[in-house]
Amino acid sequence: MRNYYQIKTVASAPPRRLIPIGKVISATGLVLVIVSLISALSSSANIYGSLSFLFLLFGLFFFVDGLLLVITASKQQEKLLGLRQSLLEDDPQIVASAEEFMAQRKSLTQQGEITGIFIVHNATKDLYYVGQSAKAIDRAAIQFLGRGNCDVYADYKYGDSFSVRIIPLSESGYESLNELKRTAIQALEAAGEELY
């Protein structure tokens, strides 16, 4: 579980949270620019003129910095939303309801175990759980047998509707399971999805 929380910490500041921060920084810079211009125009003393020039420079810096933060975060947000769509809506190797998945589990593992991540979606509560394993099919099944995430199992036991997606590492374009899982979590959070 330690690894899950480390990844959760890395993914805890998605770009959508940075956009309002960038707007505040930019607005602060704009206010500084306006105040320094008004101060420079209304004041004729040299000391005030030089201070207002300094505030003008700080204001311009904050304004531009805030705009760059908003633009960069918006681009990252778009990229993560595209990734979320590819993870959840495009064609992963295995997609099934929890009941279908559990019924087909043995035949799926006989075809060959998959190294990759699994995304368990609680359709009733609209929550996601992302896991990784060298044996992703078995690890995903464990969630519904009571030996995985206790919250997922409790919701399953009490009748919530679930679906399971398996995304193989080999077809993902990522080099490690940690990287693939981290990106999946960031993509889900960027889309405003809630995780277990």
pLDDT tens-digit series, residues 80-124 = 767 666 666 655 566 788 888 888 888 888 888 889 999 999 999
Compute the average pLDDT of residues 154-169: 92
d(CA 56, CA 58): 6
How many C-beta atoms lie closer than 10 Å to residue 98's C-beta? 22
Q: Kindly state whether residues 96 and 159 are assigned to the same domain.
A: yes
Q: Kindly state whether residues 82 and 95 are assigned to the same domain.
A: no
* Residue appearing with tokens 């908003």: 70
Compute the average pLDDT of residues 150-154: 95
H/E segment holding residue 194: strand 194-195
Q: Kindly state whether residues 139 and 47 are assigned to the same domain.
A: no
Q: Kindly state whether residues 81 and 22 are assigned to the same domain.
A: yes
d(CA 55, CA 38): 11
d(CA 142, CA 149): 9
Domain that residue 68 falls in = 2-86
Backbone angles phi, psi at 10, to 5 degrees: -60, -40
Q: How sure is the predictor about 12, in pLDDT bands with cuts at 50, 70 and 90?
A: very low
pLDDT value for 78: 78
Q: Kindly state whether residues 98 and 191 are assigned to the same domain.
A: yes
Q: Kindly state whether residues 69 and 118 are assigned to the same domain.
A: no
For 70-86, letters b (16+ CB in 10 Å) and e give beebeebbeebbebbee
Are 56 and 31 in contact by the 8 Å Cβ rule? The answer is: no
Residues 6+ apart with CB under 8 A from 14: 77, 80, 186, 189, 190
Which of residues 67, 86, 105 is at a domain's end? 86
